[in-house]
Structure 1
Amino acid sequence: MPTALRASLTQALASLPAPTAQTLDANTLQRLRTCAALGAALARVRSAGAVDADLARVVYATYMYLVHTLAAATHAIHEADRYWTCMYRSRVRAGMLWLQTLPARIATSTSHVFRRPMPGFGVRTGIHTLQRESHAKHVRLRRAEDAMAKALGTLALAWYGRATDASLPQQIQALCEAGCTALAYKPGKAPQHSTPLQAVATLLDAVAYHEASVARVLQVCGTPSVLTRTWPLLVTYPLISWAATHYLYLHWTSVSAQATWAWDTVRGLLLDWVYEPTMRLLRTMRMGRAERSMLVRRDSLAADEQSLERMVLAMGRDTLRMNDQALAQLAAQTRDGNLTAVLEVYERALASPVRATLSGQLIRTILIQVQKAKVDLEVALSAIDWLLRSQELLIGVAGLAPALGLAYLLAWGVGRVTSWVWHRPASYRTSRRQRQVDAWEALRRVDQLCIEADDKASAELAYGRFLLHIRMLRTSFEALLPKLSRGDRALLQRLSHEADHDLMALERVEPLPTSTAHAWTQRQAVVARMWRSWHRLLAWDI
């Protein structure tokens, strides 16, 4: 129910004189939720003497009840229209509806089986027929929604435009006539000059007639019952459960083996390819390069180089008869890897291998070259070890990345399934994304009304749609603001106050048709401010 209109009606009820004995007060009248209860309240007023203030109190309460009923009925019609719109736009949804309504259509066609086949009973023809019917219901519901919006706008404009300086009976007559006009009710026998009591009774008859017509529309064009929509699942789930239980009973050994294999696979992925490499990588980062196990120890390489140098110097003293200066130069060449002197001795020994072997020179040079090859191998391994140490973190991360990717995909899949099972929305209306879309759509349509509304358009229809969109905005904000405040009650109260202030500013703009253009211009300024203030709340992640 529009907040500003409700506040105005409540204020008008409070300003009336005290009720007569045996009649209902304003608080009790506001709590009435049926037309029959309002009729009983009118009967109390009639029996008590029909004071104008008591009649006005019933009329104001009837207006409040009508506004609330029209808003609720429009919401139900809008939801039904959304349902049938999805049906005629999607063949898959229409096929599901064909399956859901199959028992009802079979029961309906039983009496026609032996006379003539029912048209549209085949699957393809039936789906096409359902889509045509869904479109027809969509058109009818859209007309009903426009009629509801026009009735709401007529009531609101009649209330705001009432002549407050007129007498109370005249106000009662005017409000009752406006209510009957809004509800498109024409009494069969209406006296030319009816009393206020008769006018109020006619208004309640119009309310009852309107409720019956809305109930007929929802009965014909409303969404199917819960049983109709869920019977395929109620039938399928027990069958699937029985089949799954029977299969598990017959193949328990194989299924348990497959489950064990899957568990071992996941466990091996997480432990052997994720946990242990991660621990090794962390140990590498903690220890650094100095404490890492190397391919060749530095002391071993230094000892082999010193041994090679001693072997070459011994050959230089014993075989080549070098002095100290020549030996120092030979030692420097050996440290640089230059064994030219040893190779020359080796080449001369090859000229007479037998004598060189017997004298030991050939074997000595060969052993020196073996030691040189050992030193060269250790130097190469040291270079490889340095390269590995310099790229150790990169190699560890590169080896860990594929396993982390697989683990992330596994965790993401399990999380999505768990979230869908435990946190899925109860219905299409209650999801947060849908609330955002509803609020965005309502604010967009309010903006569109502010731009396109003019004096030639129906002021009642435009204002009724405007009030309904405001109601949708308020409902969506009430659902979205707690999520935005993240449990902070103080922040929630501040945000709710600001949102309510903006919505009240939209509703409080002068609604009279005489100032329509100026009023819509003022509303457009408020809508622009709301777009700037609440765009983050209305935006959804793409």
Structure 2
Amino acid sequence: MTSFVSHITHDLSQRIVQPANAPSSPVDASESPTKDSLRAAFLSINQSASLQETRRCLESLRGLETQSLTQPDEEEIVLRRVVLGKVAVELYGRALSITLEEAMHVEDELEWWADVERSSSSVGLYLLQTFPSRIVNFSNTILAALQKRHLPLRPSTLKPSSLRQLFPSNGVLRPNALAISLFPHLHYQPYSIALTIGRFPSASAFAHSPRRSFESAFSVFAQTFVNLARGFTSVALLPLELTRGECRFKHHELRRLRDQKAETLGTLSQLRDLLASGIEEQSPEQGLARIAEFAAAFQLVVKGESVNDGTKAADLNLMDSLEAVAVELEATDALRHVSEMKARNLTRPSRLTLLWPRLVLLPPLVLYLIQRTYASRYSLHQMAVEAFETARGFWEDWLLNPLKGVVNTVRARADGGMIVNRESVKADLDSLERMALALAKEKLNYDAVQMAALSQQIQLGDLTTVMQIYEDDIKNPLKSAVGGTLLRTLFIQVQKAKVDIDQALSGIDKLLKSQELTFAFVGVAPALAIVYAFAGYLRSIWVGGRGRGRYGGQKWRARVWLKVRRIERLLIAQPQSTQGHIPGLRETPQPSIPPLTSGLLLLSVSHLRTYAEQCLPANSRLREGFLEDVTDLEDSALGRAEKLRVLDRMWRCWGGMLGWRKMVGGAAGG
């Protein structure tokens, strides 16, 4: 029994309570064997809720009815209502469970065929997987036809001409017995191909307008050629198209069967309120009457029958209805349902049929790969060594060493230079100062105060005094070069240029020093990006949808997203029921959600409950809140508008956490 059905039956069972202060009867309870039997029946069905125990309880109640000679008192009526209510709840839960399991099985098969039909590669693979069985059916059809006509099996009988005589067709490219043996769905959906050939203009048209007629003939010829090419392509792809048509036919049949099961499930779910009212009714007589009304409608739904307009549910006996339901449920099991689907050839192929291409092709491929691997073992070993060395070189040279450089940069002091040394710049400046001071003392006879002022000017880069001496020397260059100070002033200017260059390099050095940490991070950034991307990929494998992952993984979350979308679509479209309400019931307002829509809704909601119980963290607020929303969607008392608001709440609360919004964005982008 599924958790959805267990939730419903548990809620109904909690409403069945024996009265603590039953009215006293003229005969003591201990002296009434009927009451003792009713209490024993209630205890037995509480302890064992199997279908066999339920039938035994009904048989004992039937025996008590036949043995009772006196009019039952109020306490006995209350006990009978309690026992029959418990029996009705157990049968109701069993019917819900069977119908839901059958509908879920049909929907699983439907989704499998839909997935196959959706992809051309899947259709081709399915054709390959079922090819042996089609050949067997083809051979059996030929053998059966030969035996029917008392013809021997000879190679000549397998010629196309002999097969055309043996299996005549009603028309060109129309399915005969052989085609139906290969593609059984052609028995219900014939397939034909039409080759369209254009019509050439008449000879009189050529006489009246040769140019226009020639153009018309050329266009007709081109169109005919295109149509022939399309026809030949269709013939070449005919097996794939027939296979796709087979998948489409089974998908359509399974959808129709699914809708039937869902409509039954929806009708059963709408009977829950009637059963609950019969259980909770204060008056025992009215409670039994409502349970009888429920049992009559319940019997009609389980048997899939309808009653005449003049037949009322109250005219049917409560015990007869419950016994008929118990017999019907006992005869209905999962094996019979699966056998019926296999007989109609609606189930997916067997596991062996699906796996035989792999079982046949994989061993030779594995053997070939082993041979090639062994033959290339030296090159593979060398490749592995090179890959290891590459990874180690990347790890050490591009990641660890640059990171060590970053650490050393942070720890190092800012005194050292990268291009020039500070002491070298100071030495050049001191040399320039000494040269200028010596020249000024010899040439200009400066005293101590003037020498100190000149020293400060030189520190600031001002060599005006030296330049004035140089200007005087170049007035008589030869004389100054031989006996004057021209060469000394030139050398002082060379030293000044050297100091300027050193100071410029010192500024550049300071700039580079201030950005040294930036350069270090730029050097290690590509390696860190590669490591980050690789770590993210590993994390996606570990946490994402390839494994079980968080919250069930990507596949589970995608299925739940599709179910939620389908629930919203059902509530908006509301496919109508084909059977309508069940005749014989009391005239009550029709529910806001039709039975077919309600059944399809419960079918999708059951997947949400299964997902929450299997994939969401136990004892978490996420799981508790999600199950509360699922319970609201299962509640038949809520109408269409209320359930749409519940869906809005689910999108708002769980859409981001479970990744539904990303799936919506991906679907829109795709």
Q: Same fold (TM over 0.5)?
A: yes
Q: How far is the alpha carbon of 1:306 from its aligned partner?
A: 0.9
| Cα deviation, residue 434, structure 1 | 2.7
For residues 138-174 of structure 1, the C-alpha deviation after alignment (integer angstroms, 9 at most, x for no partner) is 2111111111111122223345335834585994586
Q: Is the 8 A contact 1:442 1:470 kept in 2?
A: no
> Equivalent of 1:10, from 6, 9, 13?
13
Tell me what 1:35 maps to.
none
Match of 2:393 in 1: 268
The match for 2:246 among 129, 133, 139 is: 133
Does the aligned pair in 2 maintain the 1:296–1:378 contact within 8 Å? yes
Q: What's the CA shift for 1:77? A: 1.6
- Whole-Å separation in 2 of the counterparts to 1:540 and 1:349: 94
User: Which residue does the alignment assign to 2:44?
Assistant: 25
Report what 1:82 is aligned to.
Answer: 111
Once the 2 structures are TM-superposed, how far is the Cα of residue 5 of structure 1 from its aligned partner?
Answer: 3.3
* Equivalent residue, structure 2, for 1:477: 612
Q: Against the structure 1 CA distance between its residues 525 and 396, is the aligned structure 2 distance closer, same or farther, given a 3 Å change threshold? A: closer
Question: What is the identity, as a one-letter code, of the residue corresponding to 1:402?
Answer: P
In 2, the alpha carbon distance for the partners of 1:237 and 1:40 equals 52
Q: Please, which runs of 5 or more residues in structure 1 have no aligned partner? A: 33-37, 188-192, 512-518
What's the offset of the Cα at 1:305?
0.5
Structure 2 counterparts to residues 105-184 of structure 1, below 5 A: 105-111=134-140, 114=158, 119=179, 124-161=237-274, 164=278, 165=285, 171=291, 175=295, 178-184=298-304
Over residues 58-90 of structure 1, what are the superposed CA-to-partner deviations in whole Å (9 max), with x where a residue is unaligned? 554332211111112212222222222222222
Alpha carbons of structure 1 residues 173 and 438: separation in structure 2 relative to 1, 3 Å: same
Do 1:443 and 1:473's aligned partners in 2 also have CA atoms closer than 8 Å? no
Cα–Cα, structure 1 residues 88 and 509, in superposed 2: closer, same or farther, change >3 Å?
A: closer
**Candidates 481, 487, 499, aligned match of 1:375:** 499
On the 8 A contact 2:417/2:510 being kept in 1, the answer is: no
Work out whether 1:98 is the aligned partner of 2:101. no
- 1:462 corresponds, among 594, 597, 609, to 597
Structure 1 residue matching 2:660: 3-state secondary structure: coil
- Tell me: CA distance 1:108–1:417, structure 2 relative to 1, closer, same or farther (3 Å): farther
- Offset at 1:477? 2.9
Q: Secondary structure at the match of 1:161?
A: helix
Contact 2:254/2:346 (8 A) holds in 1: yes
Q: How does 1:329-478 map to 2 (within 5 A)?
A: 330-335=454-459, 336=461, 338=463, 339-341=466-468, 343-344=470-471, 347=474, 351=478, 356=482, 364-365=488-489, 367-416=491-540, 423=547, 431-438=555-562, 440-441=564-565, 443-445=567-569, 447-448=571-572, 455=590, 459-478=594-613
Q: Distance in 2 between matches of 1:434 and 1:155?
A: 30
Q: Distance in 1 between matches of 2:18 and 2:556?
A: 41
- The residue type paired with residue 10 of structure 1 is S
Deviations 1:85-120 (A, max 9, x none): 222222132233233333433443445683669657
Provide the C-alpha distance between the structure 1 equivalents of 2:290 and 2:544, rounded to a whole number of angstroms.
60
Query: 1:397: Cα distance to partner?
Result: 2.4
Say if 1:450 and 1:524, in contact at 8 Å, map to a contact too. Answer: no
**TM-align CA RMSD:** 4.5
Alignment CA distance shift 1:277-1:524 (3 Å):
closer
- In structure 2, do the counterparts of structure 1 residues 284 and 14 end up closer, same or farther at CA, with 3 Å as the change threshold? same
Q: For residue 44 of structure 2, what is the amino acid of its counterpart?
A: D
Give the whole-Å Cα distance in 1 for the aligned partners of 2:537 and 2:656. Answer: 29
Q: Which amino acid aligns with 2:120?
A: R
Structure-1 separation of matches of 2:13 and 2:623 = 22
> In 1, are the aligned partners of 2:429 and 2:499 still within 8 Å (CA)?
yes
- In the other structure, the counterpart of 1:540 is 660
Identity of aligned residues (%): 26
Tell me what 2:325 maps to. 203
* Residue matched to 2:409: 284
Q: Give the partner amino acid of 1:74.
A: A
Q: Which residue is equivalent to 2:99? A: 70
Who is 1:247 aligned against? Answer: 372
Write the distance in 2 (CA, Å) between the matches of 1:349 and 1:226: 113
Residue pair 1:2, 1:467 contacting (<8 A) in 2 also? no
- How far residue 236 of structure 1 moved from its aligned partner, in angstroms, is 4.7
Moved more, 220-229 or 148-157: 220-229
**How many pairs were matched up?**
512
CA–CA distance in structure 2, aligned partners of residues 346 and 242 of structure 1: 98
Q: Which amino acid aligns with 2:55?
A: L
SS at match of 2:418: coil
One-letter amino acid of the structure 2 residue matched with residue 351 of structure 1: L
Superposed displacement of residue 528, structure 1: 5.3
Structure 1 residue 261, shift from structure 2 partner: 1.6
Q: Deviations over 1:110-141 (max 9, x none)?
A: 45683669657998333322221221122111
Whole-angstrom CA distance in 2 between matches of 1:185 and 1:510: 26
- Tell me: CA distance 1:447–1:182, structure 2 relative to 1, closer, same or farther (3 Å): same
Quote the Cα distance in structure 1 between the aligned partners of 2:380 and 2:543. 26
1:377: Cα distance to partner? Answer: 2.9
Q: Which residue of 2 is the match for residue 190 of structure 1?
A: none
Q: Secondary structure at the match of 2:237?
A: helix
